[in-house]
């Protein structure tokens, strides 16, 4: 890159020297026409070298700028022009071109000190360098600026690379949130267990068998919860690892998954007097996929419908049908439903419409639907939800018949 710039510089210098030589040497018999020919050829070479340089710099995925010592932009590659919405950049001061001063600051620091600067800038969506609205929450950029060495030492050129690291930033953020939420969720049952342990040991309650048994029962409930959270987190991590062997793909009858989960949830269904319906036009329908995860998907969805509606009159429908190259699976209930404001967040890890931290009532881990979503996506499918509280809450899955 720098080499290219030097090539252009060298060609220009060479042209100047040659023309000067021809003019100065009185003995030289070459005609004006010959000199013009030289000039033309050198200009062509110069243009070609410049075009090649531009082509090379335009091929870079990152935005690349050259800025002179007066902080004016002297060159911008295609990625930079696109980043700034194809506004006029050449010969404009950096402060004017970079609508957000936080982006310009890193670069101006490099210009002022001559020291290389690498700076990560995270901006809310409305202040991307273009100054327009992005659909994402934040944009993250790495500004990398350094002066190019200049033998004459008079006017320095600074090269600036702007790299969009929004995707990496978002992944990092999701990880951080996951660890923070997981720690929070594990801390609550651990604190409860520790509290009971203290009572048993320090206050000598072990001597009172009835009380001790009651305490131990509560402790077991909370340690079960910890196990479930850890188990769920491991499932998510396995699904997210993208390992080829995370799924065991084989043909299986979806009907057998339904049968399994209805057996596992039998006592809950009976206690709640829930009415269960299975809609499957082709009971012999065969799916390709990991039967273990599909059973878990169905189990989580049906368990949610039951868990969220411990009232009489609950009707739950499980459906599965082929639709061309796709298979559609749904679980619908007529229960309390999900408020529309919560619907966009429902598949987020640890999200619960209402958080229940009371000792008496331990609800789910808030990880069930994120496992459901990830398991379906690992099979190349997707899931959506619609909810009219009290009328119908429906989770609809679409998945390709054949795994790619
Ligand atoms: P949990 O382990 O708490 O059930 P999920 O990820 O499975 O976590 O579900 C997230 C939240 O979505 C639940 O806490 C509940 O508030 C809501 N939800 C899920 N399914 C239903 C449903 N069928 N009816 C009403 N609310 C539901």
pLDDT confidence tier of residue 398, bands split at 50, 70 and 90: very high
pLDDT of residue 361: 53
Does the pLDDT of residue 12 top 90, yes or no? Answer: no
By most ligand atoms within 8 Å of CB, the mutation choice from 235, 304, 376, 393 for ligand 1 is: 304
Q: Which domains does the chain have, with CATH numbers?
A: 58-164 (3.30.450.20), 167-241 (1.10.287.130), 248-404 (3.30.565.10)
What pLDDT band is residue 382 in, cutting at 50, 70 and 90?
Answer: very high
Which range is least confidently modeled, 43-47, 129-133, 139-143, 218-222? 129-133
Per-residue confidence at 221, pLDDT binned at 50, 70, 90?
Answer: very high
Backbone dihedral angles phi then psi of residue 111, each to the nearest 5 degrees: -65, -40
pTM confidence score: 0.66
**Is 351's C-beta closer than 6 angstroms to any atom of ligand 1?**
yes
What pLDDT is recorded for position 227? 93
Of the listed ranges 171-175, 226-230, 370-374, the one predicted with least confidence? 171-175
Q: 346: Cβ below 6 Å to ligand 1?
A: yes
Q: Is 393 in the pocket of ligand 1 (CB under 6 A)?
A: yes
Could you tell me if the CB of 164 is within 6 A of ligand 1?
Answer: no
In the reported structure, the alpha carbon of residue 348 is separated from the centroid of ligand 1 by a whole-number distance in angstroms of 11
Between the CA of 183 and the centroid of ligand 1 the distance, in Å, is 20
Would you say residue 65 has pLDDT above 90?
A: yes
Predicted confidence at residue 357, as pLDDT, reads 39
Mean predicted confidence (pLDDT) in 94-107: 83
Please tell me the predicted confidence (pLDDT) of residue 360: 41
Tell me which of 298, 365, 369 to substitute to probe ligand 1's pocket, judged by most ligand atoms within 8 Å of the beta carbon.
369
Q: What is the pLDDT of residue 135?
A: 40
Which atom of ligand 1 is least distant from the CA of 365?
2
Q: DSSP states of 321-336 as a string? A: EEETTEEEEEEEE-SS
387 CB near ligand 1 (under 6 Å): no
CA 395 – ligand 1 centroid, Å: 11
- Name the residue with the closest Cα to ligand 1, atom 8: 366
Output the CA 354–ligand 1 centroid distance in Å.
Answer: 9
Rounded to 10°, the helix 291-307/254-264 angle is: 40
Is residue 356 very low, low, confident or very high in pLDDT (cuts 50, 70, 90)? very low
pLDDT for 184: 86
Mean pLDDT of the chain: 85
What pLDDT does 303 receive?
95
Q: What is the pLDDT of residues 245-298, one digit of tens each?
A: 678 899 999 999 999 999 999 999 999 999 999 999 999 999 999 999 999 999
Q: How far is the CA of 352 from the centre of ligand 1 (A)?
A: 6
Which residue puts its alpha carbon closest to atom 19 of ligand 1? 304
Helix (H, G, I), strand (E, B) or coil at 338: coil
The pLDDT score that the predictor gives to residue 123 is 82
**Residue among 170, 223, 185, 183 nearest 351 (CA):** 185
Q: How many angstroms does the Cα of residue 230 sit away from the middle of ligand 1? A: 18
* Span of 77-91, 136-150, 293-307 with lowest mean pLDDT: 136-150
Q: Which residue has the higher pLDDT, 221 or 239?
A: 221
* Residue in 281, 235, 283 with CA at minimum distance from that of residue 259: 283
Report the chain's C-alpha Rg in angstroms: 34
Whose C-alpha lies nearest to ligand 1, atom 13? 352
Cβ 333 under 6 angstroms from ligand 1? yes
**Position 90 pLDDT exceeds 80:** yes
Say if ligand 1 is within 6 A of residue 335 CB: yes
Residues 234-246: pLDDT tens digits?
888 888 777 656 7
């Amino acid at each position: 890159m720098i080499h290219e710039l030097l090539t252009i510089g060298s060609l220009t210098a060479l042209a100047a020297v040659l023309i000067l030589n021809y003019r100065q040497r009185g003995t030289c018999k070459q005609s004006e026409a010959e000199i013009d020919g030289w000039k033309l050829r050198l200009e062509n070479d110069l243009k070609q070298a410049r075009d090649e340089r531009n082509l090379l710099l335009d091929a870079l995925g990152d935005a690349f700028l050259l800025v002179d010592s007066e902080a004016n932009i002297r060159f911008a590659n295609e990625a930079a022009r696109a980043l700034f919405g194809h506004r006029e950049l050449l010969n404009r001061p950096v402060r004017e071109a970079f609508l957000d001063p936080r982006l310009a600051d890193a670069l101006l620091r490099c210009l002022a000190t001559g020291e290389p600067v690498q700076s990560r800038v995270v901006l809310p969506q409305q202040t991307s360098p273009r100054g327009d609205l992005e659909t994402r929450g934040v944009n993250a950029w790495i500004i990398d600026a350094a002066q190019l060495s200049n033998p004459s030492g008079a006017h320095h050129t600074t090269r600036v690379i702007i790299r969009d690291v929004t995707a990496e930033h978002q992944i990092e953020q999701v990880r951080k949130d996951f660890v923070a939420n997981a720690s929070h969720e594990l801390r609550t049952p651990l604190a409860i267990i520790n509290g009971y342990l203290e009572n048993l040991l320090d206050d000598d309650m072990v001597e009172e068998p009835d009380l001790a048994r009651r305490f131990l029962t509560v402790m077991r409930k909370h340690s079960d919860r910890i196990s479930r959270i850890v188990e769920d987190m491991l499932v998510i991590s396995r699904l997210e690892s993208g390992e080829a062997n995370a799924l065991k793909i084989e043909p299986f009858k979806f009907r057998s998954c339904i049968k399994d989960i209805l057996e596992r949830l039998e006592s809950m269904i009976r206690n709640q007097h829930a009415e269960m319906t299975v809609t499957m036009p082709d009971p012999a329908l065969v799916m390709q996929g990991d039967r273990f995860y599909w059973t878990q998907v169905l189990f989580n969805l049906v368990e949610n419908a039951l868990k969220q509606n411990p009232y009489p009159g609950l009707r739950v429908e499980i459906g599965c049908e082929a639709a061309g190259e796709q298979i559609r699976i749904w679980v619908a209930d007529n229960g309390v439903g999900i408020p529309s404001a919560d619907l966009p967040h429902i598949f987020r890890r640890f999200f619960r419409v209402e958080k229940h931290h009371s000792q008496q009532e331990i609800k789910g881990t808030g990880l069930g639907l994120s496992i459901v979503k990830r398991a379906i996506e690992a099979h190349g499918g997707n899931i959506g939800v619609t909810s009219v509280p009290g009328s119908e809450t429906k989770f609809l899955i679409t998945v390709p018949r054949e795994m790619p």
